């Protein structure tokens, strides 16, 4: 993965695989400091390509997605320097317009490089994007937006080829407030000729953080009510520095680690405003909080069941869904989770059932938001009968957040669990083993033979 990488190479082929062995150790208590958000850092690294001088991103988490993104930028000719939690990108003269095929399917970031590459070199190739297997995750909104701004885009077997002599502002209306497509538009429009009006934009905190970074680089971006951004293209952007805000997905996950084991975790580094809906949902279940300017801690005498539906910001975010379902397994009574953002985000549930959780899956929307996936073969809702004692077992991680749900369930279970496929967790969480050990969980990293069917 290059000299900057400390992430186990997901492309390395041998006959062993990383696993974690978890021994439940009672209530988890203590402090966790979360670093900058995984879903913001990589976008800031890509935005750095647009500057005419270096940019530095601080409070960067040590997660695999950072290493993968840095390696892609280096393959294009950017220079990257990691110094503790700072990453500096010198956008230099680019030596290539093509993200190499070896990055196929590793994460969602290559598609975000198309706009910046078109501005820098007039052409781009990016291999097929990947990321967690939580739905079809098409890139049609990105492609439509790039075409509206003047790019010629061709989909090939290997990925996406694009060309543009120049890019111009356009009126773009997203059919759904996609985080990634909003980021594509922001990063493409800020150097395009003329005005772009983006309607139906995502307003997730990580998206706003990117818009603010681009503004810091010299972009003319207005935020209007009702999901509208107005971007007036400028001739050039300069490098900028930014200290990332804390990761709200990690923060929530550790708060749940305390609650699910009957303990109490104090999370530092993620502001309350980023967790508002998580906190109000947990309050509704009977959790208690101590909230200060720099930390949030949660505990509970007993938790009541509830019904939750995932949504775009400021709703209950989809990435909080699997830790919450793990928590439902330990709340006496019936809880409901309805997933509305992705069509296949319950793939982790069968393994929880093998651990003894009582969960039924339904194709019927059990909530008020209209489903975008009518007729999908995959379940969109689950009903959890909480209160069962879970039993430790061997499970395999399907995606980052599902994987964390397994660790939570294993921490609350009786007996040892072995969790396979933990490279997903390394891709998304900053030093998770160290954090878990710090709050009292006995979890160790081991190498095990690759099971025959993986
Ligand atoms: N969509 C389309 N066409 C597109 C783009 C999106 O149909 O061209 C659909 C998706 O299939 C999905 C919905 O729109 O049903 C929302 O997808 P979005 O584009 O918002 O997701 P993303 O940008 O690919 C980011 C995060 C996800 C997070 C979502 C929603 C990154 C790298 N990933 O994905 O994070 O769940 O926004 O907030 O930023 C995670 O960290 O575990 C994770 C999956």
pLDDT in tens, 214-267: 999 999 999 999 999 999 999 999 999 999 999 999 999 999 999 999 999 999
| 417 Cα: distance to centroid of ligand 1 (angstroms) | 30
- Assess whether the previous peptide bond of 314 is cis (omega < 30° from 0): yes
pLDDT digits (tens, 9 = 90+) for 297-343: 999 999 999 999 999 999 999 999 999 999 999 999 999 999 999 99
Q: What's the 129 CA to ligand 1 centre distance in angstroms?
A: 12
Strand ordering across the sheet containing 171-173: 171-173, 195-199, 228-232, 220-224
Q: What does the domain layout of the chain look like in residue ranges?
A: 16-34+246-449, 38-243
Cα separation of 25 and 97, whole Å?
51
Packed helices 179-189 and 114-121: angle between N→C axes, nearest 10 degrees: 20
> What does DSSP say about strands 264-268 and 295-299: parallel, antiparallel, or unpaired?
antiparallel
Query: Could you tell me if 126 and 150 are in contact, meaning their C-beta atoms sit under 8 angstroms apart?
Result: no
Check if 16-34+246-449 and 38-243 are the same fold.
yes
Closest-lying ligand 1 atom to the alpha carbon of residue 143:
8
Token representation of residue 297: 């801690």
3-state DSSP: the chain helix, strand, coil percent, rounded to 5?
A: 30, 25, 40
Kindly report, residue by residue over 364-399, the tens digit of the pLDDT: 999 999 989 888 889 999 999 999 999 999 999 988
> Which residues, 6+ apart, have CB-to-CB distance to 427 below 8 Å?
7, 10, 63, 64, 65, 68, 107, 400
Minimum mean pLDDT range among 99-103, 276-280, 348-352, 426-430 = 426-430
Residue nearest to atom 7 of ligand 1 (CA): 138
Atom of ligand 1 nearest to the CA of 40: 39
Distance 159 CA to ligand 1 centre (A): 18
Distance CA 123, CA 99 (A): 11
- Residue 347 has what DSSP assignment? T
Is 132 considered catalytic here?
yes
| The predicted structure's pLDDT at residue 452 | 64
Query: 56 C-alpha to center of ligand 1: Å?
Result: 25
Q: How far apart are CA 106 and CA 100, in angstroms?
A: 12
Is the pLDDT assigned to residue 12 strictly greater than 60?
no
User: Which protein residues are within 6 Å of ligand 1, measured from CB?
Assistant: 39, 108, 132, 135-142, 176, 178-181, 202, 204, 317-319, 341-342, 400-401, 428
- pLDDT band with cut points at 50, 70 and 90 for residue 160: very high
**According to CATH, what is the number of the domain 38-243?**
3.65.10.10
In CATH, what class is 16-34+246-449? alpha beta
The confidence score (pLDDT) of residue 131 equals 67
pLDDT score of 409:
98
Please state the rounded mean pLDDT for residues 49-54. 98
Flag whether pLDDT at 292 surpasses 60. yes
pLDDT at position 5 is 42
pLDDT at 211: 98
pLDDT of residue 10: 45
Average pLDDT value for the chain: 94
Give, using CA atoms, the residue closest to atom 24 of ligand 1.
180
pLDDT at 450: 79
Return the beta strands (E) in 316-357 as ranges: 333-338
Q: Separation of 342 CA from ligand 1 center, angstroms?
A: 8
Average pLDDT over residues 282-295: 98
In ligand 1, which atom is closest to the CA atom of 136? Answer: 11
Of the listed 65, 132, 311, 399, which one is catalytic?
Answer: 132
pLDDT on residue 445: 95
Going by alpha carbons, the residue nearest to atom 31 of ligand 1 is 39
- What proportion of the chain, given as a percentage, has pLDDT over 90? 87
Averaged pLDDT, 420-449: 92
> Do residues 89 and 80 make contact, with C-beta atoms less than 8 angstroms apart?
yes
Check residue 453 and give its pLDDT. 54
The model carries a pTM of 0.94
Q: How confident is the model at residue 134 (pLDDT cuts 50, 70, 90)?
A: low
Atom 6 (ligand 1): residue with closest C-alpha?
178
């Amino acid at each position: 993965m290059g000299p900057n990488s400390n992430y186990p190479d997901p492309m390395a082929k041998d006959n062993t695989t990383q696993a974690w062995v978890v021994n439940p150790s009672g209530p988890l208590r203590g402090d966790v400091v979360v670093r900058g958000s995984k879903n913001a850092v990589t976008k800031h690294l890509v935005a750095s390509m647009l500057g005419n001088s270096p940019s530095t991103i601080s409070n960067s988490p040590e997660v695999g997605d950072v290493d993968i993104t840095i390696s892609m930028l280096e393959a294009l000719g950017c220079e990257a320097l990691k110094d503790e939690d700072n990453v500096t990108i010198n956008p230099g003269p680019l030596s290539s317009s093509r993200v190499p095929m070896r990055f196929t399917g590793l994460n969602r970031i290559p598609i975000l490089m198309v706009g910046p590459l078109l501005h820098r070199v007039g052409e781009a190739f990016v291999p097929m994007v990947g990321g967690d297997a939580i739905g079809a995750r098409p890139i049609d909104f990105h492609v439509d937006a790039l075409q509206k701004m003047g790019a010629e885009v061709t989909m090939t077997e290997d990925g996406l080829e694009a060309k543009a002599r120049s890019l111009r502002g356009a009126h773009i209306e997203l059919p759904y407030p996609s985080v990634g497509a909003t980021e594509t538009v922001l990063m493409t429009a800020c150097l395009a000729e003329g005005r772009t009006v983006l309607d139906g934009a995502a307003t997730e905190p990580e998206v706003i953080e990117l818009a603010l970074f681009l503004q810091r680089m010299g972009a003319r971006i207005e935020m209007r009510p009702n999901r509208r951004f107005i971007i007036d293209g400028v001739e050039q952007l300069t490098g900028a520095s930014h200290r990332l805000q804390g990761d709200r997905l990690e923060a929530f996950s550790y708060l749940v680690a305390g609650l699910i084991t009957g303990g109490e975790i104090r999370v530092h580094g993620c502001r309350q405003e980023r967790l508002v809906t998580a906190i109000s949902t947990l309050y509704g279940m009977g959790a208690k909080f101590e909230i200060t300017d720099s930390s949030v801690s949660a505990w509970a005498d007993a938790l009541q069941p509830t019904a939750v539906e995932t949504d775009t910001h400021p709703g209950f975010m989809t990435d909080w869904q699997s830790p919450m379902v793990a928590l439902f397994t330990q709340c006496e009574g019936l809880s409901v989770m309805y997933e509305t953002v992705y069509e296949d985000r319950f793939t982790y549930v069968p393994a929880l059932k093998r651990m003894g959780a009582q969960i039924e899956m339904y194709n019927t929307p059990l909530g008020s938001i209209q489903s975008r996936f009518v007729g999908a073969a995959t379940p969109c809702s689950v009903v959890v009968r909480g209160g069962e004692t879970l039993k430790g077992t061997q499970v395999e991680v399907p995606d980052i957040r599902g994987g964390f749900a397994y660790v939570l369930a294993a921490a609350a279970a009786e007996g040892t669990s072995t969790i396979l496929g933990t490279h997903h967790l390394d891709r998304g969480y900053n030093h998770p083993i160290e954090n878990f050990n710090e709050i009292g969980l006995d979890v160790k990293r081991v190498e095990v033979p690759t099971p025959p069917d993986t």
